[in-house]
Amino acid sequence: MQLHEQAKYWHAPEQIELLSAFYVTHRFIPHTHDTFAIGVIGQGAEAFYYRGQTHIAPMGHIVLVNPDEIHTGYAVTQCGWMYRMFYPTAELMSEIHAEITGKAAQVPFFSEPVVYNPTISALMWQAHHAFEHSPDPLERAALLRMAFSALILQYADRRPISLHPLNDHTVVQQARHYLETHYAQPITLDILSHAVSMSPFHLNRLFSAQVGLPPHAYLMQWRIRNATPLLRQGMPLAQVALAVGFANQSHFTRWFKQIVGVTPGHYARSA
């Protein structure tokens, strides 16, 4: 059976470019990026020459290539490899590093080019999927910060230490109030963190620890909660989606079914 290669490359407004690809015979020649190249292998295995050695990244492993470092890339077997790659700028990574430490920005450096961490791999996969399919800026930014801050804390040389307490209930109450009163508006992680005077990294961490959900998931819950009475009143689905803050009907439908268990159309008909 012939395997068909496919690749999708796109730019996101959050200082990042992304690639989702499946390669079989394609071989990357020695090259560099002016950004980091960070990805997770979803299938097969990739081999690449980097910093004087050949490395192999099997399924589930994370690839960490620093900016301006020469590297290659090719399949280990005839079955090829599938992966999702992020290309964050050094500015974005240093910004996240500064959010963790509360100190001056410092560009992290990863000395291990291949690491295995199922928890962070899952976070990266979820974040990459959100950048491909979700129009919600809070969801994309929150998942991106969660994945990259975990990588920096676990694998960056001179790893930063986050000492911010997790018992600041006032900030969480302020964040919940902001989300509950502005749910119909576009909300980014920067907007929310500015509203409560806390860095995006610490807000995401604190909110998740106390509420049990990250801010973007809490916002989606609140939007769905406010959508159900509108559906019972007979408002058209597209209008309901826009009224509660979703960018489009498909995004609304996806979240509604994940939370309620049926599509909004099914819910409206049953009501």
Lowest-confidence pick of 57-61, 126-130, 176-180, 203-207: 203-207
| Residue 201 near residue 233, CB atoms below 8 Å | no
Is a pLDDT exceeding 60 seen at residue 262? yes
In the chain, the percentage of residues whose pLDDT exceeds 70 is 96
Q: What is the pLDDT of residues 1-20, one digit of tens each?
A: 567 899 999 999 888 999 99
Pairing state between β 37-50 and 61-65: antiparallel
Whole-angstrom Cα distance, residue 81 to residue 6?
11
Q: By the 8 A CB rule, do 156 and 108 touch?
A: yes
Question: Average pLDDT, stretch 248-267?
Answer: 94
Q: Would you state the pLDDT for residue 91?
A: 94
Cβ neighbour number for residue 23 with a 10 Å cutoff? 20
64-88 core/surface letters (b: 16 or more CB in 10 A; e: else): bbbbeeebebbbeeeebbbbbbbbb
More confident site: 270 or 27: 27
Q: What is the DSSP letter of 219?
A: H
Q: Which pLDDT value is given to residue 166?
A: 59
113-152 pLDDT, tens digit per residue, is: 999 999 999 999 999 999 999 999 999 999 999 999 999 9
Domains of the chain and any CATH numbers: 6-155 (2.60.120.280), 169-271 (1.10.10.60)
CB 14 within 8 A of CB 140: yes
Res. 163: pLDDT tops 70: no
Which residues is 62 bridged to in the sheet?
Answer: 40, 115
What is the distance in angstroms between the CA of the first residue and the CA of the last residue of the chain? 49
Distance set, CA 90 to CA 36, 39, 95, 108, 138 (Å) = 7, 16, 8, 8, 21
> In this model, does residue 41 exceed pLDDT 70?
yes
Residues 163/132, Cβ–Cβ less than 8 Å: no
This prediction's pTM: 0.84
Give residue 78's pLDDT: 93
Q: What is the pLDDT of residue 64?
A: 98
| 201 pLDDT more than 90 | no
Q: pLDDT-derived band of residue 103, with 50, 70 and 90 as boundaries? A: confident
Task: Determine the pLDDT at residue 158.
Answer: 76
Query: Residue 162 — very low, low, confident or very high, per pLDDT cuts 50/70/90?
Result: low
Instruction: Work out the mean pLDDT of the chain and round it to a whole number.
Output: 92
* Residue 240 pLDDT > 80: yes
Least confident piece of the model among 59-68, 93-102, 191-200: 93-102
- Confidence label for 160 from pLDDT (cuts 50, 70 and 90): low
Mean pLDDT of the region 78-94: 96
